[in-house]
Amino acid sequence: MNKVEGVIFDWAGTAVDFGCFAPVNVFIDIFKNAGIDVTMEEARAPMGMLKIDHIREMLSMPRISALWEEKYGRAFNEQDVEKLYAKFEPALMASLSEYTDPIPEVIETVQVLRNQGLKIGSTTGYTKTMMDVVVPNALKKGYSPDFYVTPDETNSYGRPYPYMIYRNMEQLKLSASWKVVKVGDTTSDIKEGVNAGVWSVGVIIGSSEMGLSLDEFNALSESEQEAAISKTDHSFKQSGADFTIQSMSEFSQLIEKINHLLSEGKRPNVR
């Protein structure tokens, strides 16, 4: 049967933590404490990656790299990455449980998918230690996938590598990559899906890519909301997304559309 067998969700910014705020403030703080002021946009750009890779990516940005050289009289090195990460992890752990509320429509959507016999997997940029906080807190609030993988289980090869998706497929016994859909809220998520050969979907409202809290989004005028949606949509499609949805309420309908494409012999990323 040419039908979708499983959906693999990202966590923060997709399933929980509207706007993906838990890590972003910590990235800004640890750089500030090191004497470097980074912007919200710079802190968000590598979002979705394993967090130590995220720090390395930020330090490699030309502006931040130049500020580092100016302050320390040398280019950053791996020891600097590790020192920053050593500050990052405890700071994130201290506040993480507060950022585990499921995003609107996620619980209902997952129930609909399960009723259709689909398996629910997940991947993340968080480590196993971080997920030991997130998973039980999300469960208390009604969200629980069938399986989750962190980059700790793939030798620290997180996104955009496809290995976490492959681990999900193996565990959930999904028969082919083109019968799998990956949903995420960052360009790293999209690339992870593209590299795994699965259908790659970006969710726009509540995404780290958009970077707005629910209150901030609701405070925008209609035309400002449309502009923010359009900009995020463009970014996901530039990264190779097969589809974007504005919110999870559109997802069940999208699964029907993908099933129709599969019945016609269509495959992800090559239409």
- Residues marked as catalytic: 10, 51
If phi > 0 it is left, if psi is from -120 to 50 it is alpha, else beta; for residue 240 that is left
Cβ-contact 225, 218 below 8 angstroms: no
Q: Which residue type does 73 have?
A: G
The span from the CA of 206 to the CA of 225, in Å, is 12
- C-alpha span between 262 and 158 (Å, rounded): 28
Task: Please check if 17 is assigned to a binding site.
Answer: no
DSSP summary character for residue 206: T
SS3 155: coil
| Residue 8 near residue 181 (C-beta atoms within 8 A) | yes
Q: Are 9 and 245 in contact (CB under 8 A)?
A: no
d(CA 16, CA 106): 8
Give the separation between CA 178 and CA 199, rounded to whole angstroms: 7
What SS3 state is found at 261?
helix
185 among annotated binding-site residues: yes
Residue 249 CB contacts under 8 Å (≥ 6 apart), including other chains: 104, 105, 109
Helix-then-strand count for the chain, H and E: 12, 5
- 3-class DSSP assignment, residue 14: coil
Binding-site residue numbers for Mg(2+) are 10, 12, 185
Binding-site residue numbers are 10, 12, 185
